[in-house]
């Protein structure tokens, strides 16, 4: 294989992720030439609008995927949390490399040290709902943009909430005041993981990408994504899921909440495969989640 073109968003974090995949591929094939194809997405252009109003996960993936489908690139690298739960026709999720820290993080204050009525900046309904479970006094304002832009806004608020892995990958982990345990805040589906897509018909590239996959990360990501699929694709309500491998089995914890956080359902399930995501989603839907989706 003489070379591959990698489609990615142009932010420093997205480029880090694409370059990490390139490094992994070149470790497997030192002669492989890799070219980055930078793509601007709707989510990058519209920083004035909350993500859920733009249409959710796909706003950071659609244009990158289109570059691969159109033949302008051979593969795409995404933050797995930004990837729609249902695979785009013509593409395949060919590889999930090793996963970073899946937790959310506070910058500016610990949760316990936030003053009464503190203002927290986040662009995520899920993060708002999870924080309100522990601190119903908190107030929230929107937070958008690349990580440098977000960190620059930290001083304007009592705290901001970001994905810990984003700061870790940019060498900014020291900016984190507190990494929130998953028992406190369940992460977004597939947070901390990378997702590498290519054309489904490209058998040779699929085989190459399989060589850089982390089997445990793939099992966890597949289970978390299966949970979201069973909720009805990219559910617009706050939802989170986190899977780990325990004694060879997949242990999944997940929740679904109303938009205001007033109602929620939460549960855990363990099983041998990604089907635990489907099973837990059905359990939560029967326990009140279906009524939440109908509102």
**Where do you find CATH 3.40.190.10 in the chain?**
3-98+193-213, 104-179
Yes or no: is domain 226-294 CATH 3.30.160.40? yes
Residue 159 in tokens:
């705290």
Confidence check: pLDDT of 200 > 50: yes
* Spatial CB neighbours of 89, under 8 Å, sequence gap ≥ 6: none
Query: Exactly one of 82, 101, 202, 222 is catalytic; which is it?
Result: 82
State how far the Cα of 96 lies from the Cα of 81, in Å rounded to an integer: 12
54: confidence class by pLDDT, cuts 50, 70, 90: very low
Global pTM reads 0.92
195: confidence class by pLDDT, cuts 50, 70, 90: very high
Active site residue 82: yes
Sign of CA dihedral 283, 288, 291, 295: negative
Q: Which CATH superfamily is domain 3-98+193-213 in?
A: Periplasmic binding protein-like II (3.40.190.10)
Per-residue confidence (pLDDT) for residue 56, from 0 to 100: 54
Architecture of domain 104-179: 3-Layer(aba) Sandwich (3.40)
* Higher-pLDDT residue of 84, 206: 206
pLDDT tens by residue, 222-260: 999 999 999 986 567 899 999 999 999 999 999 999 988
State how far the Cα of 165 lies from the Cα of 173, in Å rounded to an integer: 8
**Where do you find CATH 3.30.160.40 in the chain?**
226-294
Largest Cα span, the chain: 59
Confidence check: pLDDT of 23 > 60: yes
CB 40, CB 10: distance < 8 Å: yes
């Amino acid at each position: 294989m003489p070379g591959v073109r990698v489609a990615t968003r142009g932010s420093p974090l997205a480029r880090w992720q694409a370059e990490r995949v390139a490094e992994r591929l070149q470790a497997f094939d030192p002669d492989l030439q890799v070219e980055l194809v930078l793509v601007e997405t709707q989510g990058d252009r519209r920083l004035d609008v909350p993500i859920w109003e733009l249409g959710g996960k796909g706003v950071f993936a659609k244009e990158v995927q289109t570059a691969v489908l159109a033949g302008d690139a051979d593969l795409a690298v995404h933050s797995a949390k930004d990837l729609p739960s249902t695979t785009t026709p013509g593409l395949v999720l060919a590889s999930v490399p090793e996963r970073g820290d899946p937790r959310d993080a506070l910058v500016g204050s610990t949760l316990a040290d936030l003053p009464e009525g503190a203002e927290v900046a986040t662009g995520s309904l899920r993060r708002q709902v999870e924080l309100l479970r522990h601190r119903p006094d908190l107030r929230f304002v929107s937070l958008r943009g690349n990580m440098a832009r977000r960190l620059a806004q930290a001083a304007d608020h009592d705290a901001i909430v970001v994905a810990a892995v984003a700061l870790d990958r940019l060498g900014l982990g020291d900016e984190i005041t507190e990494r929130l345990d998953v028992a406190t805040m369940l992460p977004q589906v597939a947070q901390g993981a990378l997702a590498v897509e290519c054309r489904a018909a490209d058998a040779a590239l699929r085989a190459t990408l399989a060589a850089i996959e982390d089997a445990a990360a793939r099992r966890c990501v597949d289970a978390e994504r299966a949970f979201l699929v069973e909720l009805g694709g990219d559910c617009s309500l706050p939802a989170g899921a986190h899977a780990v491998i325990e004694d060879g089995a997949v242990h999944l914890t997940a929740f679904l909440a109303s938009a205001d956080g007033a109602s929620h359902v939460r549960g855990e399930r363990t099983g041998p495969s990604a089907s635990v995501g489907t099973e837990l989603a059905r359990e939560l839907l029967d326990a009140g989640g279906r009524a939440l989706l109908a509102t």
